[in-house]
C-alpha cells in the first residue's frame, strides 16, 4: 500500500529545521505484514529527544530512514502466525522488540533484548525484513523496528502491547517511550519507596514522567533540576518539593539544601554536564541513575577512588528497566485512576507537514511531548 511518511535522508543538517527540512514528507510503499508481523494504523506518535538526536546525527543510523519510536495505534492486519491480536485492537508500540529467546529475554530483561539491537543496527525488523520502500523502489530503513512518523507501520507482533479501548490513544502513545523510561526508572531501576527522596535532572518528557512517577510512588522529597525556569515552575506545580536552576551554583545550593545530596538522583537530560551535576548532588552511599542518551562519542570522567570510599554508584536505565507486558498495564492503571496524569505532558498536536517545526521547538526546549497525528 501507499502511505504518507516523514523520511530522513541526511543527518546533521543545521537548524532551523523549518528551513533545512531534514524530514521530507512523501508517499512511500509499505509491504503487507509477513509471518509474525502486524500492520498498524498510527493514531498518535510523540516527538522524543532521541528522534531529535538522530536528526542531529548524535547517533548515526542507516539512511534513508523513517524515525519515530513512541506511539499508539490500531491493528489493521495480522500476518501469518500472529496470536493474541486482531484487527481493531488498540496497541502501544515498544521501541525494543523482544525475541523471547535470547539470554536477556530469558532472564527477564526484554528491554535489552540482544536480537532487537542487531535488527536496529541493520535498519530492519527483527524478522530481517524491510517492509518500507521509496516509490522508485529504493530501500527505506526501519527505526527501532517501528518507524512511526508515518500513517501506517508494519512491526513485529512482539513490538506491540494491547491496551484497553477506553484509553485515549494520544495519551497511550506517550507511555511507549517517555513514561516507560521516566516512570520506569523510578519504579524499576531505582525502586523508589514511599517516603524516599529523589532528584531528577532534566525535565523534558522523560524527566517529567519520572517526576510524576516519583509523586505516584509516594516520595517525600522530590528535587527538580533543569536549565529552564518554566520547566521548574511546572515541576513545582506537579509535585516537586524543591526546584533548582542548573547554573554554576546548582551543586552547592542543592547539597546545602539537602545536607549533602540525595540518595537517588535520576539524570534525564542526555548531556554530560547534566550527568556530572547529577553525580555531584548524589549523597554519600547514594546512587545516580542515568537514562539520558548523549552523543555516542561522549565520554564521562569519574574518580573511582572517591566513588568507592563514599560508596556512590552509577547505574543506567534503558526503557525504564521495564518488562513492558508487566509494567505497561500497571502504569496505565495508575493513569486511569489519576495517579499518573500523563496527559499533562502533551504540548499540542502536529501534522506530518509540521514535523520540522516541531523538532525546532523540541530543540529550543519550549515543549514537552508534541503529538503527531499522521492521519488527521
Ligand atoms: N534510556 C532510555 O531508554 C531513553 C528513552 C527515551 C529518551 N532517552 C533520552 O533521554 C533524554 C531526554 O529525552 P526527552 O525526550 O525528555 O528530552 P527533552 O529535550 O524533552 O528534555 C531534556 C531536558 O533536559 C534539560 N537540560 C538540558 N541540559 C541540561 C543540563 N545541563 N542540566 C539540566 N537540565 C538540562 C532541557 O532543558 C530539557 O528540559 C534524551 O537524551 C533522550 O535521548 C532515553
Ligand atoms: Zn524516546
Ligand atoms: Zn531477546
Is-contact 5 66, C-beta < 8 A? Answer: yes
pLDDT of residue 364: 97
Q: Is the dihedral of CA 129, 135, 137, 141 positive or negative?
A: negative
Q: Is the dihedral of CA 361, 170, 128, 120 positive or negative?
A: positive
The per-residue pLDDT string of the chain (376 residues; one tens digit each, 9 = 90 and over) reads 999 999 999 999 999 999 999 999 999 999 999 999 999 999 999 999 999 999 999 999 999 999 999 999 999 999 999 999 999 999 999 999 999 999 999 999 999 999 999 999 999 999 999 999 999 999 999 999 999 999 999 999 999 999 999 999 999 999 999 999 999 999 999 999 999 999 999 999 999 999 999 999 999 999 999 999 999 999 999 999 999 999 999 999 999 999 999 999 999 999 999 999 999 999 999 999 999 999 999 999 999 999 999 999 999 999 999 999 999 999 999 999 999 999 999 999 999 999 999 999 999 999 999 999 999 8
Most ligand 1 atoms within 8 A of CB, residue of 46, 184, 204 to mutate: 204
| CA of 311 relative to ligand 2 center, distance in Å | 31
The ligand 1 atom nearest the CA atom of 362 = 19
Domain range summary for the chain, segments of one domain joined by +:
2-166+341-372, 182-318
Most ligand 1 atoms within 8 A of CB, residue of 268, 316, 369 to mutate: 268
Residue whose cell numbers read 509477513: 34
pLDDT of residue 317: 98
Q: CA 13 → CA 45, 54, 62, 123, 205, distances in Å?
A: 23, 11, 16, 21, 24
3-class state of residue 231 by DSSP = helix
Most ligand 1 atoms within 8 A of CB, residue of 117, 250, 269, 347 to mutate: 269
Query: How crowded is the C-beta side of 57, counted as CA atoms within 13 Å?
Result: 10
Q: Distance between CA 249 and CA 262 in Å, rounded?
A: 17
Looking at 2.40.170.20, 3.40.190.10, 3.40.50.800, 3.40.50.720, the CATH number of the domain 182-318 comes to 3.40.50.720
**DSSP per-residue string spanning 115-130:** HHHHHHHHTS-TTS--
Is-contact 264 196, C-beta < 8 A? Answer: yes
> What residues line ligand 1, using a CB cutoff of 6 Å?
48-50, 53, 177, 181, 201-207, 225-228, 231, 246, 268-271, 273-274, 277, 291-293, 317-319, 362, 365
Q: Distance between CA 108 and CA 317 in Å, rounded?
A: 15
Q: Which ligand is nearest to the CA of 99?
A: 3
Most ligand 1 atoms within 8 A of CB, residue of 56, 209, 270, 320 to mutate: 270
Q: Distance between CA 92 and CA 328 in Å, rounded?
A: 9
pLDDT of residue 376: 85
Residue whose cell numbers read 527505526: 143
| CA of 86 relative to ligand 1 center, distance in Å | 36
Q: Which ligand is nearest to the CA of 345?
A: 1
Name the architecture of domain 2-166+341-372: Alpha-Beta Complex (3.90)
Please give the angle made by the CA atoms of 124, 1 and 24, to the nearest 5 degrees: 65
Q: Which ligand is nearest to the CA of 148?
A: 2
Q: Which H/E stretch holds residue 232?
A: helix 229-237
| CA of 269 relative to ligand 1 center, distance in Å | 3
Q: How many residues does the chain have?
A: 376
Q: Which ligand is nearest to the CA of 319?
A: 1
Cell numbers at 114, concatenated = 540482544
| CA of 70 relative to ligand 2 center, distance in Å | 6
Q: CA 61 → CA 65, 140, 185, 318, 360, distances in Å?
A: 8, 12, 26, 19, 20
pLDDT of residue 106: 95
Amino acid at each position: 500500500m501507499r502511505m504518507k511518511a516523514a523520511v530522513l535522508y541526511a543527518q546533521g543538517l543545521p537548524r532551523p529545521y523549518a528551513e533545512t527540512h531534514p524530514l521530507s514528507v512523501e508517499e512511500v510503499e509499505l509491504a503487507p505484514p509477513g509471518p509474525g508481523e502486524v500492520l498498524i494504523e498510527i493514531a498518535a506518535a510523540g516527538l522524543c529527544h532521541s528522534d531529535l538526536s538522530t536528526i542531529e546525527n548524535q547517533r548515526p543510523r542507516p539512511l534513508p530512514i523513517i524515525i519515530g519510536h513512541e506511539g499508539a495505534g490500531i491493528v489493521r492486519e495480522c500476518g501469518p502466525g500472529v496470536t493474541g491480536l486482531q484487527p481493531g485492537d488498540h496497541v502501544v508500540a515498544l521501541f525494543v522488540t523482544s525475541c523471547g529467546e535470547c539470554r536477556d529475554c530469558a532472564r527477564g530483561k526484554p528491554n535489552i533484548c540482544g536480537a532487537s539491537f542487531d535488527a536496529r543496527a541493520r535498519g530492519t525488523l527483527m524478522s530481517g525484513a524491510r517492509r518500507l520502500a521509496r516509490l522508485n523502489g529504493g530501500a527505506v530503513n526501519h527505526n527501532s523496528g517501528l518507524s512511526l512518523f508515518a500513517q501506517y507501520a508494519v512491526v513485529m507482533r512482539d513490538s506491540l502491547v494491547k491496551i484497553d479501548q477506553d484509553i485515549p490513544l494520544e495519551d497511550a502513545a506517550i507511555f511507549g517511550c517517555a513514561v516507560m523510561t521516566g516512570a520506569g526508572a523510578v519504579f524499576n531501576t531505582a525502586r523508589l519507596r514511599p517516603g524516599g527522596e529523589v532528584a531528577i535532572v532534566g525535565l523534558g518528557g522523560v524527566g517529567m514522567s519520572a517526576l510524576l512517577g516519583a509523586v505516584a510512588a509516594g516520595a517525600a522529597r522530590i528535587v527538580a533540576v533543569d536549565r529552564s525556569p518554566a520547566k521548574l515552575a511546572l515541576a513545582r506545580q506537579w509535585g516537586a518539593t524543591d526546584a533548582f536552576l542548573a547554573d554554576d551554583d546548582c551543586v552547592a545550593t542543592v547539597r546545602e539544601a539537602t545536607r549533602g545530596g540525595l540518595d537517588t538522583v535520576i539524570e534525564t537530560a542526555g548531556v554530560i554536564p547534566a550527568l556530572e551535576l547529577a553525580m555531584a548532588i548524589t549523597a554519600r552511599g547514594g546512587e545516580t541513575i542515568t537514562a539520558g542518551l548523549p552523543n555516542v562519542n561522549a565520554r564521562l570522567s569519574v574518580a573511582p577512588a572517591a566513588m568507592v570510599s563514599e560508596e556512590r554508584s552509577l547505574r543506567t536505565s534503558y526503557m525504564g528497566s521495564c518488562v513492558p507486558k508487566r509494567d505497561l498495564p500497571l502504569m496505565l492503571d495508575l493513569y486511569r485512576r489519576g495517579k499518573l496524569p500523563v496527559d499533562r505532558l502533551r504540548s499540542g498536536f502536529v501534522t506530518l507537514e509540521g514535523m520540522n517545526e516541531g523538532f525546532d521547538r523540541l530543540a529550543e526546549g519550549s515543549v514537552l511531548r508534541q503529538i503527531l497525528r499522521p492521519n488527521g
